[in-house]
């Protein structure tokens, strides 16, 4: 397995197998970060270190998640399917550290936040953590239908009202 820093947009690269990892009743497809790279990354400051990556030839935004002294990157089912990847495949993982506070807000949520006249909602959105904003954004972005997306936007707005 190759391990090390690389010269390109991505700062780090290594090869690893795709493994099955279970936490309680949740099952994930993951790659584990090699131990020598763990030491060079700021996990004490960011235990769930957000990264921009390529796994194989496919882009992925994610985070290194802690697990008993090791860190893993989850590979979503849809990502595995689109990349025609399977458990046991050896993949090259290239990554760089991403902006830890960045949030990709889906258009439907961004427009609802901008259009909402209740200042309390805008204040609540700015006061919650980046992680919580990412959670709300993911909930809206993962909707498969317009009706579900609209319902989830309304749920986020209602949750923000309760925060204030």
3-state secondary structure string across the chain: CCEEECCCCCCEEEEEECEEEEECCEEEEEEECCHHHHCCCCCCCCCCEEEEEEECCEEEEEEEEEECCEEEEECCHHHHHHCCCCCCCEEEEEEEECCCCCCCCCHHHHHHHHHCCCHHHHHHHHHCCHHHHHHHHHHHHCCCCHHHHHHHHHHHHHHHHHHC
3-97 CATH fold: Elongation Factor Tu (Ef-tu); domain 3 (2.40.30)
pTM of the model: 0.72
Residue 7 has pLDDT above 50, yes or no: no
Half-sphere exposure of 136 (CA within 13 A, CB side): 25
Domain borders along the chain are 3-97, 107-163
Model confidence at 24, in pLDDT bands (50, 70, 90)?
A: confident
Residue 21 and residue 14: Cα distance in Å, rounded? Answer: 19
Residue 10 has pLDDT above 70, yes or no: yes
Model confidence at 117, in pLDDT bands (50, 70, 90)?
A: low
Residue 1 has pLDDT above 50, yes or no: no
């Amino acid at each position: 397995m190759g391990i090390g820093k690389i010269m390109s947009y991505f700062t780090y690269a290594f090869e690893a197998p795709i493994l099955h990892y279970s936490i309680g009743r949740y099952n994930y497809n993951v790659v584990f970060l090699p131990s020598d790279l763990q030491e060079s990354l700021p996990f004490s400051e960011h235990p769930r270190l957000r990264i921009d990556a390529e796994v194989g030839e496919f882009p992925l935004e994610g985070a290194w998640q802690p697990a008993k002294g090791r860190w893993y990157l989850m590979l979503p089912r849809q990502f595995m399917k689109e990349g025609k990847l399977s458990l046991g495949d050896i993949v090259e993982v290239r990554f760089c550290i991403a902006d830890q506070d960045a949030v990709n807000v889906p258009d439907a949520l961004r427009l609802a936040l901008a259009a909402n006249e209740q200042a309390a909602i805008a204040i609540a959105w700015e006061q919650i953590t980046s992680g919580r904003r990412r959670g709300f954004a993911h909930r809206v972005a993962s909707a498969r239908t317009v009706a579900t997306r609209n319902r989830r936007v309304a749920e986020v707005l209602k949750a923000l009202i309760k925060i204030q």
